Every structure is written in C-alpha cells, then in structure tokens.
Structure 1
C-alpha cells in the first residue's frame, strides 16, 4: 500500500509544470481597503492567460507578467479588480468589500443561498476548521461545533461515529442523517479525507431538509469538496505524525485485592493473595502511532480548472495488533465549453486495509483474574485450569491467535452538465455513481493454547460484499429580479437504485503455509458452507422549491417533494413532503435604522413534513405464520383435534415513518457584526413510527410481537449559538464562540396506550435494561431502585426480600405490597442527552496561532453493564474493592463480593451519570516569516502541535461515558473500544 501511495504522489507532483516567460517580475501586496489588513490567499492572475498565483500569509505576491499586461485580483467577499501593470515592478492593491457577498454563503439542497436569505435552520462549518483536528472521519470533527448535533465517537480505527440531529426519532428505523457529497447521496463519510472538504452544511429543520423528502427525517449533512481555481498550479502538503494513548484507563483489582474479594465470596482461602499480579489491560493495550500525509494540486485557466489530491493514513489502534491503513485519491475538473455551457466531474477513490482486533478481548481483559499469569514457566500461555477459578480466556492468547484481515475499495463519482439559456434559466443534469467492495478473511488455526482456547480443526471464513448505486438528477432553475422582488424557482427529478450482495464461505481443515495460501478450496469439502444475501431498493422523486424575497426583508421558501420507494407496497409507495419557511429581516425596516448598535436582526419560522424510509428490509413483505404443532381435546368421549397457533403476524399495510417539524428562529448581529447570536426552538414529532407491540398469549400468539406503525415520538428543544470575533490590529485577532442545545425526547403515542418495547439486553443474556413506553424517553433505563444494602439478617426478615442475604441490594417496594417483583420496576435513567454544548476559540498573534475547542454533554445517564458481569469469579474494579460491603456498617451503597442472583437484575446501582466535559482539540501553530519562505521557493510554511481529547472530566466509573448504541440500547457499556488521546506534530506547506 505504501508503494502505491508513493506512486500516487509522483503522479500528482508531475502536474506542477514549470514554464519560462520573458517578462518582468511584479510584486505587491493585497489588502482590505477599509482596514489595511492583508488578504491571505487572494488570487492574482495575468488577464487573458493561465498564469496566476496567490498571496501569502502577509498578503504579498510575486508574479511574472508582460510589462504592459493587466492583473486580475479576486478574493471571496470582495469586489474583483483589474489593475494595469504599466511597466511597474511593484503594484499594491486594495480590495473593497462586496455588498453582494456580505453574508456568508451556505449550501442548501440543489443550490446555494446567502445565509441572510435562509428561512430554515442551517449550520455551516468550513473545511479549514475541520482540518485542524486529528479526526480521520470528517463527521467526528463536527463534535461540539454545531448546535443540536450529538456525535458519539468510537475509538476503533476506521470506525464511523454515531450522529443524532435533534434527537432520536425512531426505534426500529434509521436514525442517522442523510449524507450528500457534491450532490451524490452516500451511506457514510468514511471514504472521505477531511483535507478534501471545502465546507459541511447541516440542514436541521424541515424547511431546509424537505427537499430530500423521505430521506431527511434525521437531518441532512451536505459536503462540498474543494474545487480548482484559475491560476498557476498550487501545490499543498499537509501531514502529521503522532501517538495515541488510552485515557482514564480503568483500574482493576490487583492479585492481593482480588484474592481478598474472592476468598470473601467463597468463604475459603482458595486464592493466594501473594501470587504475582497481572495487569491485563497492560497486556492488550498500547501507545499507538499515527501518521497522515496529503498532497494536493490545483489550478487552471479561466475556462478549465482542476483539483487533485492523494492521501495516506496509517493508524494503529490502542489494542495491540489492531491497525488501519487508508489511501484516498480525488480528481475534479470543471470546464466552461462556452459562455452558457459548463461540464465537470468529481471522482473520489478510497482503499483501506485493517488488521482487526478480536471483539472479545476488552471483555476478557476486564474479567480475567490478575492471579492468572500471561505465560507459565515453560513458555506456554497461562491456563485458567491451573488456578481452578473458572473458564476464563487468556487475553494475550486471544490476541496472538486472532487472525482477521479486512479490506475494501470504494469509488464515489459525479459527472454533470449545466446549460444557461434565456438569461434566467439554468438546466443541470448530473449522474452520481458509487461502487464498493469490502472483504474479510478470518482464520482460526488448529491449536491448543489453553484449556478453553483450543480448536480441534482449523476454520477459514471468507466474506465479500459488493455495493453499487446510481443517482440521476435533473434540475431546472429560474432566477429573476422584478424591481423589489427576487424570485428563484427550482423543479427537478431524481431516480436512484441501491444494490448490495454478500457472499460468505467457510471450510474446516484449511492448512496454513502463509497468508497468501488461505483458500476455501484447500479445506475439507464435507465442511463447505455457503451463504448468499442481497437487497435492492429504488427511489423515484419529483421536487420543487420557490425562494421569494421582497425588498430584501420579507422572505419565503416553499418546497414540495414527492417520493416513492420500492420498500413499500405499490398502493402505499408514494408520499408528499411539503414545507414552508418565512423570514423577516427586521433590521432592514426604516424604523430600525437609528439603532447603531444593531447591525442585523432576522426572525424566521418554518414548518414541514419529512419521511424515513430507512426501515428494516422486507418488513412490508412479512406475512402471518401459523404453527400446526398443537392439539386440543374436546367432547364426550374426549377426542383430540389438531390445532395451530399464530406465531407471527403483521398488519396488511405498513406506512412511512413521517416527521412533522416546527421551528422558530432569531438571528442577531451587533457591533459591526463582531457579535452574532442565533436561537432556535423546535418541535420535531415522528408519527406512525414502526414499533413492536407485544400480544397477549390469549390472543393465540406465542409471546410474539406485531410490528406496525404504532408509535409517535417527539423531540422538543432549544438551540443557542453566540460568536464574537475582533481584529485588534494587523498582528492580533481573536474569536470565541459557544453553542448549547437542550432536547427533550418523549414517546407521545402508542397503540393500546399501555404497550411498551423492551431492549438493551445484557451480556448475561436474560435481562433487558431499557423500556420505551408512553410518556417516557426512548430507551429509558428500567429496573429496580436500590434503597441501600442489607446490613443484617434482621433487616432482611423485616423486608419484602426474605430471600436476600446481608450485603445484597435492598430494593424499594414501589407499590407497597411487601413483595419485590416486576411491578416494582421504575425508570432509572435517560440515555438521551438533555444538554450538549461546545466552546470554540482561536487567537492569532503575529506568526503564532492558537485554538482551543471544548465539548461536553450533560443531563444524560449510562448503564455500566460491566459491573454486572458475574458468571463466576471474574475480576473486580479497584473502585469496588475500596467501597464494597464487608460486614455491617461498612457500606450502604456497594454490595458484597457475592454479587449474584437478584443483585444482577437491572437496578439503579448500574446507572451512572454520563455527563462529561472534554478538551476536544488544542493546537499551537507558527507560520514562518515570508522572506525565509521565499528563499525556499514556497508561499507559506506552518508548523503546529496538536492534542485531541487530551483531558476529559467525568464521574463515570469506566473508560469513557461516550457510549453509542441503537435508540433502545443506547449508552450501555459492554466494554466499548476506548476513546484515545492523540498527540501529533504537523506541517502545512504551500508551493
């Protein structure tokens, strides 16, 4: 893979062609006409040619040009200028702010808008903000930067984060947002290099998202990648090297402490407290390395522009032997064939390979007794049979014997053509294609490592999955200004097909000579096993949108999309998704002109319908199933009659999951817009959501569920965003921004009223920890409320738990019937965050720059299922040893070491506060002086040091309270892959 990357870099660098010209050398500086501050990255071109450059970190430029030529200078947000050279060697240029681009431009579905004209709730994050983090998935870099967006990361290399926009609105359907990259709908962003991103725009409300109809129930994230700009070829290198380390590593009991606990439990002296102690986390975790490199080249003429890049990532996981390599390549070209015709394409290639970690190893490191040695004196693995405490796996043996490799390739591309005609019309057609292959190979050798880790026969399992899709879209846009009226109208069509197929084969007795000789055909033919699954889905859509503005202050956005999905029966396949958004720019009113301190004020409101087609495959095709295995005896004389029982049933028709969303917003700008403020209140309700309703046994069903559109969910929230930025001088500027979001999740409707859905099964297998029922949040933790610890037998005799023992949990008798049973279970906690927030700051002083990002979550609970893993003599945490009950009066909060029986029932002791505050990113950079850089034939060089997730403050008694999961099993810690702190050093060079 490294050789392929070097070849890719060589190909990219050859694009930078040198050229000689017999012209004069012109140098100068481009600045803001009002403030005098330098404009970094302004484009300077020789008019009528493809020769161009960009200004450096101090606004300076040098270019070769004809003595009688003209320089064309442009910069985003400023009016372009054409400046005659007139045989001068020094040309300084001052640009005026463009009145037409004072407002930030944001990307909306099938177009762009100035933010001041937007009637919906849209948040935009620029690529330069994302690039200043070590996250390898661009979605992770949004954490703490966008109000209303909750992101849960996974520490495993290559893993995609979990994203919730304005809460979870489904229990059985899709809850992740829709991702659109340069107009192509994709399933995730794992294939995308963050350095290739120009901006990410998050569509949060129905007014902005309804243009995507049945895909938009969970919000939309639009990704725009970088495009070439006219001018001479510009080369950029951005790379870093660093290390990763687990933070807040869980402290387990050592050999002496473990022996004390187990001997207490067993009432014997079976375990020797003086045995050597093994720290199993030290055996499976490591300080890992990471390095990332990217080279990009862009440029072009006034008619053709291009951008291409290549990236290489090598990331080790903090679990030993786990590593991940990724190569990315991107090529983009835009060409103006005439004044009215433009064509272009964008292609992104992604290739990865990983040595996977066994999913059980963290669990094994948590439970393995510390008195079990890693190796015995003879060099063999430490065997649990030698210590007689249970059938524990040796975690080191698990790591050493595990042999699984995953790899895959993915190509995402889009080609478009755009035609402008009759001055006001633009027709665009685009075709998006995606093709992906993923493979895995797992080999279990014939071995005997320990008494519980052995295989009498080798086993080879190979799997291959192929994904492909096409998306064809056509839009016609009409834009016209009539006096004080501005109208933009859009109509379009969209058709998409998504297919996947998975093939898996397995065979025993495959010999191992090398990694390249592992083939199923070499195994025992009698043991061959093949499975083959596939699915196909098609969408067909028509949509339209009208944006209207009167006097630049009264705004209207109206959208309608009509969608059809092949997942649904023909008679329920189509649905309409309308929305309307209204805005009033109050600051443009004459009566507001005397308020010198207020620069901008806009109020807006929106309402719309969205849909969710991301339901389990083939739900609509399920039919009733009857089992004929029952008999009944009737009559006199008695006679047996063959009978049957319904074991599964579904309604005849399943409908879309629909979302109705109402949003009210306020935007303010003060003190020359140095201080901005934005607030949104929303109510987002999912209607007719899929839900499994339990059926009484008397109804003929064997304890099964009926699945249908039986539930309604509601998320209600408030989002607040404030930003302050100021340029004190040419040498000093700073900014500070913060956002906070409050969300309440609730089940507001269920068929039958008192029905419920259980979820969150524990590792022990027979316990459910969550309930989704009317009036409560989705996936609420559910169980017994611990009122203390039984201290004496007399307390037990006088309680509702006569079968308990001293040191056991004392459960609260909720209904006061003097019996502890299932009717005493109550809500114990909420896994849906009530508060999420972020603080983002940056400071620039001369050549130094500094940024600090803080992110946090509050009003949320997690379920520490690890504390309840008690099959036998598993290890304990140090916290348990220090706080356990060990006789009357020793503890009224922690049980004894005899943690078994009803003590393992879901209860409030396992539910902990999941709130945390984290330094998400901290970075210090230094840009070299311009004169030194010029000698090196470079435009700019910046060095930086960075720390990501270096410190997290929380009270949870685990590695991390940042725990994902499906809506009905969210926040349940079953030994999750820990989040790591990353420390790196990097350099960014522009040629």
Structure 2
C-alpha cells in the first residue's frame, strides 16, 4: 500500500513541475437550475494529467495553459468542455442528464448508451444500493428490477435465491451468472455493497448470449468503484443497529397444549390426561433474540489523468436472531489503473474477504416448533428439561441443542482481475484479462462426551473437520473495432475465452478428543483407530469463441448480433460444443422526421430480440459410469472360481447434451413529459429444451434407481412493466417515484417419461408433495382436495372414506368413483409466483432526504409442511388451537387434535396463500449545511436512520412468506430461518 502512495505522490510531483508554465485558473461550479454549489466535480485540463475537484462551496483552482480547455464532469450531469481563452476566472453551470436513454450501461465485454441497447437490461446504480441495510448486494435490488424474483434467507451471511424470468430448469442450476469486474464468481456474499459502482441485470437471451452456456438463467454484472482524477477523496460510511423477528409465529401455551393432547388421548381412548396448570415454556422466546449489527467502511480514491486508484476496507459484525449465530466479515479492495502511454492502459482490481461464522444446529428451529411447552428449559436440579420426564415422545430440548452445538466456519476469498489494453490504428482496441477466484474454507465441529437429556447424549466425543480449497482462473482476449462512417456507426467485438474450475474437500472425523479448549481440537489427541477421512473434488474446463456486432444507422436503426461457440468438459466429447447465436433489433422512432416537430415524447425506442443460451450447471461426470467396489460382491465364473465384483452407483445416459434456452423478447422504452417520465415494457417467451431430468431406470438393465438424461421442456412467458417519474418541483424540493411489475407463467411443455415427475417431501417422510407434468408449472403442489371435516359417524358411513373418523379431513372424490385413492390426487397450488412488483421513491427537501421502497409478491402458494410434522405429541400453533375440530360443528376447516393417519396425506389444507406486501426499506437522512462542514474541512456529513423490512403484510401462518427451494422442491416450509426487521443509525462523511 505504501508503494502505491509513493507512486501517486511521484506522479503528482512530476505534473506539478510540468505545470510551472501554466497560469492559475479559479472558478465555481453550480447546478444550472438551482444555482447550488456542486461538490467534488472533476475538473481536468484537457490533454494533460492535471486536475482538481471542487470544494464544499463548488470552488476550484487549477493550473492550465492560457489557450487550453477544461473538462468538467459529475455523476448525473452532462460533461462540459470550456475553452480558457486567456481567462483566469471561469464559472460553470452543469445541466442534469435527465434522459435515461443516454445513460451508459455495462454490457458483456463493454458498455453502451442505453439508447443503443436492443436487449432487456436494467441498471441499478451503487448510490441506490448503499441506501439499503442489506449486507448482500443482491438483496439490495429486491423490488427494483422488473422480472427478478429475490427470496431472502434470514441467517446472517446467507445468499438470497435469485430467479430471472421464472424457473427454466428442474435439476440443472437455476441461479444467474455473477460477473464482478470481468471475473465469474458463484455469489456476491463476499462483496460490500458500498464498493459497487453499478449493477446490471441482463434479462433476455439477446443481451446475455455473449456469455453462452453460463447465461441460461440470466447474468448479473457488477462494476466496482474506480478512482477518478483529482485530489484524494476519503469517505467513511458506518451504521449500527438491531434486528428483530417480525410476524413471530405464536405457538400453543402449556394450558392450550394440554387441552389439545387430552382431546387426542380421548379420541384414541388413552386414559392418561395432562394437567392444565403446568408452567409454560415459550421455546421461540428461548432461542430467539434481538440481534445487534454494525458495519464500517473507509475508502480513499483519487489520481491523475495517468493513474487512478480506489481502495477500501470494511468490517461487518452481524448477530443472527437465533442465539449463538454470529457472522463477521472483513473486506479489503484495491483498484488501480495506469495509463502507461496514450495508447496503453493496464490495471488491476483485487477483493479480499475474511469471514467467520458461528453456526447453529440445523434442527433447532424445528425443535422449537415441536417441543411441548410443558417441557421446562431446566429442572429444579439445574439439569436440562428432559422429555423422558413428561413421557410424551423423544423430543429434543432446544436450549440443550444450542448449548451443546460447537461449530465454527471460516473462509477466505481472493477475487481479482488484471488487464492490459492497447489502442492501435486509431479504431482498434485489444484487451487481455486474467481473472482469478481463490477460496479457502474450513469448519470445525466438536460434539463433547455428555448426557444432557435422554435423547441428547454422546458416549464418546466426536471431532469433525473440513478443509475446502477452490480456485478458478478465467483468461479472456478481445479485439474491438469502433468506426463511424457517415451515418453508419458500428462496433465489432471478437474474443476467445478459457476457464478452469477446480475444488477439493477433505473431511475427517475422530472420537475421544478431550474437551479442554479450542487448542485441544486436534486429531492427534483422539483415538486413532476411529479416524475416518473422506476426500472429494472436481475439475472442469470451458473453452469459448465469441463475437458481436453493434450497428447503428443514423442513430435510429439499431442492430446487435452475437455468436458464441462454447465447450464444456461436463458433457461427453461427442456433445461437448454447441453454438449460441442471438440477434436484436431497435428502432428509435423519435429520430424519424415525422417525430421531429412534436414535444410530447422525448424518446421512443421499439426493440425485438431472439437468442439461444445453454446451461452447463449440472454435476460433473454424470456421463461416466461409476462402480462401488466396497460392496463385497463375489461372482463365480466356471467351476467355483470367485471374482471380486462391484455395483453400479449411477446410471449413465447413452446421450447427454446441453440444456438449451431459446428466448424471444419484444419491448419498448419511452421518455416523455419533458424527460420526467420513463416507461419500459417487455413481453417475452422463454423456452427450455432438452432439460436434464431424473427418470426411472429399467430393472431389466440391472440395478434400479434413476438415470439423468435430456427428458423435459419448459416454458416461461411473461410481461414486465416499469415506470419512473423524476422531477424538481422547486429549487429546494425534488422527488422521484418508480413502479415495476412483472407477470410470469411457468409451464412444463414436455416430459419424455411414462411416469409423472414427483418431488418435494413434507410432513411424514416419504410423502411427495409436488409434481411436474405437462400443462402445469414445475413443482406444483399435488395432493387431495379438502372438502371439509367429518362431523359424525353417520357422515362417514357409505362415504368414499370408510376408514375415516369424526374430526378427519373429508377428501374430494375427483373422479366420482366412490373411492378416495391416488386417482383423486390433483393440483393444489403453485410455488411459482405469477406477479412480483415494487414501488421505489425518493424525496429531497432542503437538506432532508427520504427514501421509501415497497416490494411484494402475488399469485403464489406455500406448502406449510410444518403442520404435518406429526410423529407423536408435538406442539401445535395457536392458530390450530383456535380453529380445530373438537366436537360436532366446531370446525369444518381444521381437523381434530389427533392430526394423524389420512390427515397427514398431502392435501390442500397444507397449501396456503403466500402473497405479501412489504415496506422493504425506509430511510430518512439529513445533510449538514456546507457552511458548517466547510469550517471543519469536510465536504459533506450526512446522518441517517434506516428501517428495513419493518412491516410485512401477509396471511401465511408462518414466520415469513419468503420460502425458496430448488425447482421441484420450492415453496415447502420446513422451519425456514425467520426473516427480521433491521433498525439502524448511520453517518456518511466525505473528506
């Protein structure tokens, strides 16, 4: 780091010496409309490396030749070049760049003006991300991008689930491709949102196809902040706050639980009865907490025309709302660009993160849901409350589980990119870049020898350790040709890419390691005869060739076409490569002569695109036959001669090739009402062909089971709409309001198997709860339809369910054959949302600012499998107590307390409405007046208060309606980690 400072200082010194013949020029930069001073405007002497930035009053001083020019640039404003003409004082007014079609957006391997883009791309600026308290950058765009569904997990450090324009695969990967400064990464959990300059979401096949086989589920491009020429800028941003569970699930208390269990005992003629006056334990209150969170970031940036730099460091400490669940992240980032000559540029960007997580037992929330409230946390003796003492089942004591569990996860990641860029023959740019992603992670779990309860004990201690190492490199070379000839403007890109990913994990276990301290957790101290080691890993490669042409005629007829030839070692050699083309067309209607004399529409673009993508996110080696030689199989050939045998562990498809996505997109973009209102709308048809699916293997070819092959096709069709209003009502009041909504319909169009594809497991083990069949969405809920509750024995006599009893569900006889059986199973719900929407607004009044974001989902169902976790005498929700059947005509919607037998079959009672609307973020800020901060030599100080997820309105009977999962297992709630509301106070200081 010292070397970089010395280099910057030397360059500054050289430029000061060279500028001795220049004259000092001063001036002030203000807003053209409000006349307010603009702070930190970049002022560069054209053709040199000299520059400056405006201070808190908008003033600047720079040395420049009397016959030179100054270039003024500022985010959100149009650049302005001013000739000096022997003047020593120059005052400049900058005009805001309100036309969003002229904004620059990042696309694959380059950037374009928004007006030239023919695909569907949404850009979110970094300044919008930092106004959220989300610690994962992807969570910060929830509700801001039409057609992008984000499902958050509540545990600290977890990555959200992202679906762009629906689900297009069943067993292949469905997450988008993440690209950070040209490097492919699996997620963004290591990245501080404050380090991001912009985030672009490539939604359609035309814009994403330049990434070929990796882009079937869309692409998220992240550009981190870069240094800008001028005096060094130092920024501190920090906040501290608390997180609390919202919409807490209410469980039955001890008296209500005893009432329900006694009703159950009575129905099964069990003579035992529980007392109604036992002390009550609220197990959720026992394991949950109000959690603390604080985050701090310090950054510095600056440079000259020859060298720019930006480096930052941040520290995040976040407690989980479950006790003992803690997350700590340290991030450091360094970026430097060198302009070696006017034609050569080199640079690098490196991000290092160190993460420590204190984890919790995976089943503690389930234990808190089912543990009887009459079970005490501790007995009078001080020992943990033991389920054996209440004789109601083999329940775990949740507090004992938390106290006994001892696991720490640690990881370090280095993500970086180095590049070199050469401009030659005026119009050609050659760029070579090498991206690296290196990851080390480990976990240590120690289970002590102990006896906490009758079901929570261990006769021997057990130490488990895991060491994981993953590394990947991506080398890409591109040649770009830019040319403008008369009315023709085009850019041609050619590139070649190669990538290698490798990971390896070593897991070991051993017994009898003493529990002295962290320093004693080593294998050498355990019983060596019990040591077990498992080693797994993978290595796969990619090779790609790609090209793209962007063409514009008279700035009104646009063409984008790309072609990528991709190969992956994950597929058999015969089907390893494929071609992925795309084409996009655009028409700038407002550039036509018949639109020139009108003022109602400022800009109107109509576009259409088509593209083909691939999906390589499948397990490696699925086409290789593997044999298990540890099965002790013996075969005899000839007269009693034994041969060692083995069993096939996996079925191999004779043919396996790419999952292919073909997508058509039609849309328009319009700016109207004096550049205040921006409207964008899209219709798309996205089809997945040859999706990889597990199908049953024929017993005639040996061992049964399933086989992976290309056996299904899916379709997502939808409409997206976004509108944004931005205006300045007065010089001291301005505001913006945005709204976006997306509708998506998912459908299975083909399944090349004789049997329906079942999935999902909820309630009693072995109960499939979803189905994927032609004509319905992927992973729809499948079960019986509840038509009420049997009230009397007379109702049951002669019914289609002769084995039922009063208080049991009455199932609908779908096919009217007078028998309720598997032929009456039908679709009961859809976990794929039909609508997702968001409302985003911001207001500025004098020095005060307010941001309000609202987000929601509609047309979605959740399978509440928690209600079906009945193996004995588990606790009930208070909702069940209030609505249960406990006698004739007491309820026709909820069953009796004897929730067993046919009541546990997958049915519509478990399927609940998952719609919700939420205040996603509310932030109020105040910026101190410049006449105060100027005295302290500080540019700006802004204080803010933030509330994230403070209010969520929904009907679902659970902690949260945000329930994710893989495509055939989505929307099934088996005690998901609760989401929380975050309240914090922060400060942002610019020096």
Coarse TM-score class (shorter-chain normalised): over 0.9
SS at match of 2:174: coil
> What is the correspondence of 1:423-572 to structure 2 with a 5 Å cutoff?
423-572=426-575
SS at match of 2:473: strand
- Tell me by how many angstroms 1:649 deviates: 3.8
Q: Deviations over 1:472-520 (max 9, x none)?
A: 0000000101100011000000000000000001100000211122101
- Tell me by how many angstroms 1:694 deviates: 2.9
Q: Deviations over 1:667-702 (max 9, x none)?
A: 1111122111111000000000001223566x5666
> What is the correspondence of 1:10-25 to structure 2 with a 5 Å cutoff?
none
SS at match of 1:202: strand
Check whether the contact 1:79–1:98 (CA below 8 A) recurs between aligned residues: no
Q: Deviations over 1:124-158 (max 9, x none)?
A: 00001011001111000110000010000000000
Kindly indicate whether residue 936 of structure 2 is the aligned counterpart of residue 933 of structure 1: no
What CA distance in whole angstroms lies between the structure 2 residues aligned with 1:513 and 1:15?
51
Q: Residue 778 of structure 2 aligns with which residue?
A: 778
SS at match of 1:972: coil
Q: Residue 708 of structure 2 aligns with which residue?
A: 707
Q: Residue 321 of structure 1 aligns with which residue?
A: 324
Check whether the contact 1:278–1:374 (CA below 8 A) recurs between aligned residues: yes
Kindly indicate whether residue 691 of structure 2 is the aligned counterpart of residue 693 of structure 1: no
Q: Against the structure 1 CA distance between its residues 629 and 334, is the aligned structure 2 distance closer, same or farther, given a 3 Å change threshold?
A: closer
- Tell me by how many angstroms 1:33 deviates: 4.0
What CA distance in whole angstroms lies between the structure 2 residues aligned with 1:66 and 1:747?
67
What CA distance in whole angstroms lies between the structure 2 residues aligned with 1:12 and 1:789?
75
What CA distance in whole angstroms lies between the structure 2 residues aligned with 1:769 and 1:359?
22
User: Normalised by the size of structure 2, how large is the TM-score?
Assistant: 0.94
Check whether the contact 2:627–2:646 (CA below 8 A) recurs between aligned residues: no
Q: Against the structure 1 CA distance between its residues 518 and 54, is the aligned structure 2 distance closer, same or farther, given a 3 Å change threshold?
A: farther
Q: Against the structure 1 CA distance between its residues 216 and 67, is the aligned structure 2 distance closer, same or farther, given a 3 Å change threshold?
A: closer
Check whether the contact 1:625–1:649 (CA below 8 A) recurs between aligned residues: no
Kindly indicate whether residue 715 of structure 2 is the aligned counterpart of residue 717 of structure 1: no
Q: Residue 642 of structure 2 aligns with which residue?
A: none
Kindly indicate whether residue 191 of structure 2 is the aligned counterpart of residue 192 of structure 1: yes
Q: Against the structure 1 CA distance between its residues 930 and 730, is the aligned structure 2 distance closer, same or farther, given a 3 Å change threshold?
A: same
Q: Against the structure 1 CA distance between its residues 151 and 67, is the aligned structure 2 distance closer, same or farther, given a 3 Å change threshold?
A: same
- Tell me by how many angstroms 1:26 deviates: 7.9
Q: Deviations over 1:285-308 (max 9, x none)?
A: 000000000000000111000000
> What is the correspondence of 1:381-400 to structure 2 with a 5 Å cutoff?
381-400=384-403
Q: Residue 639 of structure 2 aligns with which residue?
A: none
Check whether the contact 2:921–2:948 (CA below 8 A) recurs between aligned residues: yes
- Tell me by how many angstroms 1:608 deviates: 1.0
- Tell me by how many angstroms 1:901 deviates: 1.1
SS at match of 1:766: coil
Check whether the contact 1:789–1:807 (CA below 8 A) recurs between aligned residues: yes
What CA distance in whole angstroms lies between the structure 1 residues aligned with 2:501 and 2:450?
43
Larger deviation, residues 701-710 vs 295-304: 701-710
Q: Against the structure 1 CA distance between its residues 291 and 83, is the aligned structure 2 distance closer, same or farther, given a 3 Å change threshold?
A: farther
Kindly indicate whether residue 885 of structure 2 is the aligned counterpart of residue 882 of structure 1: no
SS at match of 1:621: coil
SS at match of 1:521: helix
SS at match of 1:265: helix
Q: Against the structure 1 CA distance between its residues 934 and 691, is the aligned structure 2 distance closer, same or farther, given a 3 Å change threshold?
A: same
Q: Residue 207 of structure 1 aligns with which residue?
A: 206
Q: Residue 736 of structure 2 aligns with which residue?
A: 735
Q: Deviations over 1:80-110 (max 9, x none)?
A: 334659796x753223678999701110000
- Tell me by how many angstroms 1:765 deviates: 1.6
Check whether the contact 2:39–2:939 (CA below 8 A) recurs between aligned residues: no
Q: Residue 58 of structure 2 aligns with which residue?
A: 60
Q: Against the structure 1 CA distance between its residues 97 and 317, is the aligned structure 2 distance closer, same or farther, given a 3 Å change threshold?
A: closer
Larger deviation, residues 243-252 vs 378-387: 378-387
What CA distance in whole angstroms lies between the structure 2 residues aligned with 1:376 and 1:15?
68
Larger deviation, residues 189-198 vs 94-103: 94-103
Q: Deviations over 1:847-879 (max 9, x none)?
A: 000010000000000000000111101000000
Q: Against the structure 1 CA distance between its residues 404 and 98, is the aligned structure 2 distance closer, same or farther, given a 3 Å change threshold?
A: closer
Q: Against the structure 1 CA distance between its residues 98 and 883, is the aligned structure 2 distance closer, same or farther, given a 3 Å change threshold?
A: closer
What CA distance in whole angstroms lies between the structure 1 residues aligned with 2:937 and 2:165?
49
Out of 299, 310, 329, which is 1:307 matched to?
310
Check whether the contact 1:646–1:700 (CA below 8 A) recurs between aligned residues: no
Kindly indicate whether residue 587 of structure 2 is the aligned counterpart of residue 584 of structure 1: yes
SS at match of 1:620: coil
> What is the correspondence of 1:897-976 to structure 2 with a 5 Å cutoff?
897-976=897-976
Q: Residue 247 of structure 1 aligns with which residue?
A: 246
Q: Deviations over 1:778-826 (max 9, x none)?
A: 0000111101000001111121111111000111111111111111100
Q: Against the structure 1 CA distance between its residues 623 and 708, is the aligned structure 2 distance closer, same or farther, given a 3 Å change threshold?
A: farther
> What is the correspondence of 1:777-856 to structure 2 with a 5 Å cutoff?
777-856=777-856
What CA distance in whole angstroms lies between the structure 1 residues aligned with 2:159 and 2:778?
23
> What is the correspondence of 1:327-406 to structure 2 with a 5 Å cutoff?
327-406=330-409
Q: Against the structure 1 CA distance between its residues 73 and 263, is the aligned structure 2 distance closer, same or farther, given a 3 Å change threshold?
A: same
Kindly indicate whether residue 719 of structure 2 is the aligned counterpart of residue 745 of structure 1: no
What CA distance in whole angstroms lies between the structure 2 residues aligned with 1:645 and 1:721?
56
What CA distance in whole angstroms lies between the structure 2 residues aligned with 1:894 and 1:310?
55
What CA distance in whole angstroms lies between the structure 1 residues aligned with 2:316 and 2:477?
36
Q: Against the structure 1 CA distance between its residues 34 and 378, is the aligned structure 2 distance closer, same or farther, given a 3 Å change threshold?
A: closer
Runs of 5+ consecutive residues of structure 2 not aligned to the other structure: 636-644
What CA distance in whole angstroms lies between the structure 2 residues aligned with 1:646 and 1:404?
35
Q: Residue 639 of structure 1 aligns with which residue?
A: none
SS at match of 2:211: helix
What CA distance in whole angstroms lies between the structure 1 residues aligned with 2:564 and 2:695?
32
Q: Deviations over 1:228-279 (max 9, x none)?
A: 0001110000010000001000000000000000011012452111011000
Q: Residue 415 of structure 2 aligns with which residue?
A: 412
Check whether the contact 1:300–1:306 (CA below 8 A) recurs between aligned residues: yes
Q: Residue 157 of structure 2 aligns with which residue?
A: 158
What CA distance in whole angstroms lies between the structure 2 residues aligned with 1:481 and 1:71?
26
Out of 584, 601, 604, which is 2:604 matched to?
601
Q: Residue 756 of structure 2 aligns with which residue?
A: 756
User: Normalised by the size of structure 1, how large is the TM-score?
Assistant: 0.94
- Tell me by how many angstroms 1:922 deviates: 0.4
Q: Residue 640 of structure 2 aligns with which residue?
A: none
Kindly indicate whether residue 130 of structure 2 is the aligned counterpart of residue 131 of structure 1: yes
Larger deviation, residues 736-745 vs 721-730: 721-730
Instruction: Give the length in aligned residue pairs.
Output: 967
Q: Against the structure 1 CA distance between its residues 87 and 717, is the aligned structure 2 distance closer, same or farther, given a 3 Å change threshold?
A: closer
Check whether the contact 1:583–1:603 (CA below 8 A) recurs between aligned residues: yes
Check whether the contact 2:33–2:731 (CA below 8 A) recurs between aligned residues: no
Check whether the contact 1:625–1:648 (CA below 8 A) recurs between aligned residues: no
- Tell me by how many angstroms 1:415 deviates: 0.3
Q: Deviations over 1:36-93 (max 9, x none)?
A: 465454213577565522454xx623557699898653224423334659796x7532
Q: Against the structure 1 CA distance between its residues 63 and 387, is the aligned structure 2 distance closer, same or farther, given a 3 Å change threshold?
A: farther
Kindly indicate whether residue 676 of structure 2 is the aligned counterpart of residue 674 of structure 1: yes
SS at match of 1:882: helix
Q: Against the structure 1 CA distance between its residues 36 and 932, is the aligned structure 2 distance closer, same or farther, given a 3 Å change threshold?
A: closer
Q: Deviations over 1:309-341 (max 9, x none)?
A: 000000000000110000000000001111100
- Tell me by how many angstroms 1:645 deviates: 11
Q: Residue 684 of structure 1 aligns with which residue?
A: 686
- Tell me by how many angstroms 1:16 deviates: 10
What CA distance in whole angstroms lies between the structure 1 residues aligned with 2:847 and 2:615?
49
SS at match of 2:909: helix
Q: Against the structure 1 CA distance between its residues 452 and 12, is the aligned structure 2 distance closer, same or farther, given a 3 Å change threshold?
A: farther
What CA distance in whole angstroms lies between the structure 2 residues aligned with 1:134 and 1:99?
27
What CA distance in whole angstroms lies between the structure 2 residues aligned with 1:269 and 1:988?
64
